[in-house]
Structure 1
């Protein structure tokens, strides 16, 4: 019995040894180590894009105009899924509140306003439609493969009906309500992506856009129709002052991280 057990163990060990020799081949030539993969290779600009940046023939841009209905469909799908989310509505609410505060402080009527607050907010039913787009200009790095700055021209049209209702409290304690609906906003937008002095983007209208609004106002239950033209003019002036070229604002998110919110390197890095 002992001899049978030892023979079985010896046979199993011999089979495993033969398999090891056939698979590993310890006496054969050693294979070279696996090749090193460069994980951070420099960016290269495809030849097709270089050729595309030479298709402009009217002297107003370095590329031809392109239809962007496919991109508009893609963006509308994203808008459809996110327009009622808390994150997007909170972002719009914050931005709109900042704009309203700026308008009230810069106008003569702002001296009579004690508080201005957004009551209702509707993001509308449509996302801005991109009719066409072209590359106006690019600035390349020293190696001619990295973009330092890209300037795009975008033909944009919006008829989504963005709407908000605002409660205003005057210094006399009177309550007023203002409803504003954006019925149309169309024009040519200059969109810039730049790496200098740090990665950021900007956008502004090339010239005064076509603006259509519906405004209604009342105070203590009484309509104030005579104020509506003044309110529309204030909105137009605010748009002209902050969002028509050469006026623009440097932005980071969501395309780039805010450089002022990035952690600083340790002091040892500067020694």
Structure 2
């Protein structure tokens, strides 16, 4: 039996019903978060929930629960569904109202849902590295909001899938922004570069944790935009996300990066990131499904 959260209550999944005029369904009028779970514990949940609240506020949605209340509810849900290794998905919309582009009355109740999934760590890909393609970034200009409107991301990801690749690296003109579902970094002469956390990218929680790691361990990381040419001539390229963790990119549009193998910086960052996970969630144990 699987359980979900609907508007603050934990109920059986088959009992959860959303009205067809919910604005999330009609307009994508809402925001979401995905939080990683290791050993039954959420990783960086505070940072995710703070971003959730900020994204909602940026589009005029007031979250009717405190950060503590949301965290408690999600912890109960994880326990109820016995999730040891996976994710918890959280979403809020502007609620149910007759279809109209203008916002409904301010007193319209929001709709908040959450559910869990069992998701293994992509250890095999992290060890071997993955392939990527380049594609023009066609998304809107508020990518810093974790909006439900993901059509541009989906189209980019599908291009990657059809090309037999793991990720699509997006660019606006000659400037690299981020992946379809990840942040992108390059390494050149021992320095890591990543696009500034402005309106053109989502400031990923794993990205922020990676910045903290670099600061703590005296690894040089600079937030500045970089070009496609710099990307293609980088010593190493890597991506970060909640589910992919720190993932080396070893091939872009058929061009090998670092000879087609993960570089030493990528490996070092993976080790340091795993150590951060273990501090919060306990020792990581590799299972057969992760290889």
TM bin, normalised by shorter chain, reads under 0.3
**Which one has a bigger Cα radius of gyration?**
1
TM-score by length of 1: 0.25
